[in-house]
Amino acid sequence: MSIQNNYVAIMAGGIGSRFWPESRAAKPKQFLDLLGTGRSLIQWTYLRFRTICPKENIYFITNQHYIGMLKEQIPEISDDNIISEPSRKNTAPCAAYFAHKMIAKNPNANIIMSPADHLIMDERAFERAMYEALDYVAHHSALLTLGIKPTRPDTGYGYIQIETENTLDHGVARVKTFTEKPSLDLARTFLKSGDFLWNSGIFIWNVRSILEAFEKFLPELNEVFTQAEGAYNTEREAGIIAELYPQCTNISIDYGIMEKAKNVFSIPAYFGWCDLGTWDSAYDNSQKDYLGNAVYGKNVMVIDANECMIKAPDDKLVVVQGLDQFVLIDTPDVLLVCERAREQQIKDYVAEVKRNKGDKYL
């Protein structure tokens, strides 16, 4: 397997509304340093894949409004490697577009589709898993998803059930079922059974394998991008895609392809993975004081508060007293205070803000 055949598409067009009010439409979470590491999530993601393929083979798929911010944070990226998505249509159109673009460039392309907002603790273990996956899809007609060995019965993740009795080359296992965000009781059952993994949302496939799947399971969507043949990787591409993209169905790659195809596999992995999707996940991955509080802000004073997630501007004095397991996020124009147990509902709060206050605070 030649490293020159390895390509990465980093999907970076989301709004990250569950990290509101820090994450806004003008600057969503992938461009933020949520954990005080000195780099944004998208910068970490880019650096992670620089060891897996040449930088000219790393592409970003993002909203046109974020292109300036992307170039500012990753100045070495070429304009040719930034794909502007005309509208948000979920992950299946995104994957189909990239596959058609890549097969016109390199018919032997092995593709990684990755979100821009994951946290990875063990970079070496991640790198090994990626190479194993790329090598497998280069030699097999397989649609592969990276499965994470669960450490707790988490209800915020999707789950993959694998065949544990028939492990294939490179530790690859056949996928039996997908389950979206189960109840707590079901998540506990999954954890106890030992044959369920968290669905990381990182997909690996050869370009021909995924296009065969689109032809079979989403033929109308596939046909949209077939119409642009001859324009890919030319100056005409952006204009033609802008005309075609509104025709795409809004559907996820999980639902449209992965849950239907028979050649779906997974590599069970553990490398300290977290889909940094909520303030509670940020809390879990933060350093904490002796009372279990995760505090970001140089002038935050905590008095008799326990297991809170607190984030405030460095130049603002914030005094927190008596709160137990709360999220407190202070920005120049919005203050959010809610129970950590209810932070999955932040998207609902954002919708309510939009209804009552318009887009000013979004």
Nearest by Cα to 145 from 94, 205, 99: 205
| Per-residue confidence (pLDDT) for residue 170, from 0 to 100 | 62
Of 277, 312, 336, the last residue of a domain is 277
Domain count within the chain: 2
**Domain coverage including residue 353:** 284-357
Antiparallel, parallel or unpaired: β 82-85 and 110-115: unpaired
Identify the burial level of 7 via C-beta atoms within 10 angstroms of its C-beta, where 0-12 means exposed, 13-18 middle and 19 or more buried: buried
**Over the stretch 3-38, which tens digit does the pLDDT of each residue have?**
889 999 999 988 878 899 999 988 999 999 988 889
Pair 100, 235 in one domain? yes
Pair 26, 112 in one domain? yes
| Per-residue confidence (pLDDT) for residue 169, from 0 to 100 | 63
| Per-residue confidence (pLDDT) for residue 330, from 0 to 100 | 96
Pair 302, 182 in one domain? no
pLDDT(171) > 80: no
Q: Which residues contact 60 (CB under 8 A, 6 or more apart)?
A: 9, 10, 12, 42, 70, 74, 77, 81, 82, 83, 116
345 pLDDT band, cuts 50/70/90, is confident
CA distance 57 to 11: 14
State if pTM tops 0.85: yes
Mean pLDDT, rounded, for 152-166 = 82
Of 223, 244, 277, the last residue of a domain is 277
CA distance 257 to 176: 14
Pair 185, 221 in one domain? yes
pLDDT(1) > 60: no
**Over the stretch 110-120, which tens digit does the pLDDT of each residue have?**
999 999 988 88
For residue 362, being part of any structural domain is answered with: no
| Per-residue confidence (pLDDT) for residue 341, from 0 to 100 | 86
Identify the burial level of 319 via C-beta atoms within 10 angstroms of its C-beta, where 0-12 means exposed, 13-18 middle and 19 or more buried: exposed
| Per-residue confidence (pLDDT) for residue 94, from 0 to 100 | 94
Average per-residue pLDDT in the chain? 91
Mean pLDDT, rounded, for 164-186 = 79
Is the CB of residue 344 less than 8 Å from the CB of residue 4?
Answer: no
Beta bridge partners of 275: 118
Pair 195, 75 in one domain? yes
**Over the stretch 34-84, which tens digit does the pLDDT of each residue have?**
888 899 999 999 999 998 999 999 999 998 889 999 999 999 999 999 999
Of 216, 247, 277, the last residue of a domain is 277
pLDDT cut 70: percent of the chain above it? 98
Question: Quick one: CA torsion of 133, 204, 100, 87, rounded to 10 degrees?
Answer: -160
pLDDT(296) > 60: yes
Is the CB of residue 305 less than 8 Å from the CB of residue 333?
Answer: no
Sign of the torsion formed by the C-alpha atoms of 348, 349, 350 and 351: positive
